[in-house]
């Protein structure tokens, strides 16, 4: 049965651990850079109170079975360097999305994101039996779009007015995916990079 649940996933460089209350201070510190939230409003780290509200929301989504939330830890330093999650989980269709990802600036353009995405994709396709994994980003977020493409995901198109942002503007979202038949080739590309 396709049923994503909290689990610890690791490579030699990073560990993804289920988010818990003990991670809250480190999450807040890792996310306390406004530039991280330019395309991902609202900023979940504008204050400790906002971060705690985000944590409460995230835990509720986990309890409902709608999200599986991870803290990303660097194995060498032991630092929490970001967060990511499975979301938009569709059990009957064996689909999910990898989203809500942020990496603290010090660890951007390092191994952290590549290793985290590898863990999530490998688990989704090889343990859970996913047939499709989706990624979604702001249409104008060129950095994120390029990073998703480098993972081996195929661009599918733009969902117009997909979300209303806190300032009332409309967000168009670029959609990418990897399907199960593509995973062996994508996996090989990841392993070559890693």
Assess whether pLDDT exceeds 70 at residue 147.
Answer: yes
Distance of CA 133 to the CA centre of its chain: 11
Instruction: Give the pLDDT band of residue 167 (cuts 50, 70, 90).
Output: confident
Structural domain includes residue 114: yes
Domain assignment present for 3: no
Tokens of 97: 């999305």
| Confidence check: pLDDT of 101 > 70 | yes
Q: Is the pLDDT of residue 158 over 80?
A: yes
Residue 1 within any structural domain of the chain: no
pLDDT at position 41 over 70: no
Is 51 inside a domain boundary?
yes
The per-residue pLDDT of the chain, averaged, comes to 93
CATH number of 31's domain: 3.40.630.30
Pick the residue with more confidence: 120 or 109? 120
Q: For residue 56, how many other CB atoms are within 10 A of its CB?
A: 11
Furthest-apart CA atoms within the chain: distance in Å: 43
Give the range of the structural domain holding residue 43, as residue numbers without chain letter: 9-193
Residue pair 133/177 in contact by the 8 Å Cβ criterion: yes
End-to-end CA distance of the chain: 30
HSE value, Cβ hemisphere, 13 Å, CA-based, for 68: 20
Domain count, the chain: 1
Q: What is the pLDDT of residue 121?
A: 98
Residue 55 lies in a domain: yes
Tell me the pLDDT tens digit for each residue of 4-38. Answer: 999 999 999 999 999 999 999 999 999 888 888 77
| 4 is a domain residue | no
The per-residue pLDDT for 44 is: 77
Residues 82-92 have a mean pLDDT of 96
pLDDT (0 to 100) of residue 46: 83
> pTM value?
0.94
Helix (H) or strand (E) holding 116: helix 111-122
- Burial class of residue 135, CB neighbours in 10 A (0-12, 13-18, 19+): buried
């Amino acid at each position: 049965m396709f049923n994503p649940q909290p689990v610890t996933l690791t490579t030699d460089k990073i560990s993804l651990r289920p988010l818990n209350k003990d991670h809250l201070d480190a999450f807040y510190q890792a996310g306390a850079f406004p530039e991280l939230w330019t395309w991902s409003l609202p900023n979940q780290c504008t204050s400790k109170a906002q971060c705690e509200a985000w944590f409460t929301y995230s835990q509720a989504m986990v309890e409902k079975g709608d999200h599986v939330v991870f803290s990303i830890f660097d194995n060498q330093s032991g630092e929490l360097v970001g967060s990511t999650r499975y979301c938009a989980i569709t059990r009957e269709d064996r689909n999910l999305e990898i989203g809500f990802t942020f990496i603290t600036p010090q660890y951007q353009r390092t191994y952290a994101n590549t290793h985290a995405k590898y863990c999530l994709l490998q688990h989704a396709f090889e343990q859970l039996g996913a047939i499709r994994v989706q990624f979604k980003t702001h249409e104008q977020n060129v950095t994120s779009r390029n990073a998703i493409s480098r993972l081996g995901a195929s661009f599918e198109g733009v969902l117009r007015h997909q979300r209303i942002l806190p300032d009332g503007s409309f967000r168009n979202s670029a959609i990418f995916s990897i399907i199960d038949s593509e995973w062996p080739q994508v996996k090989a590309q990841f392993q070559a990079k890693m």
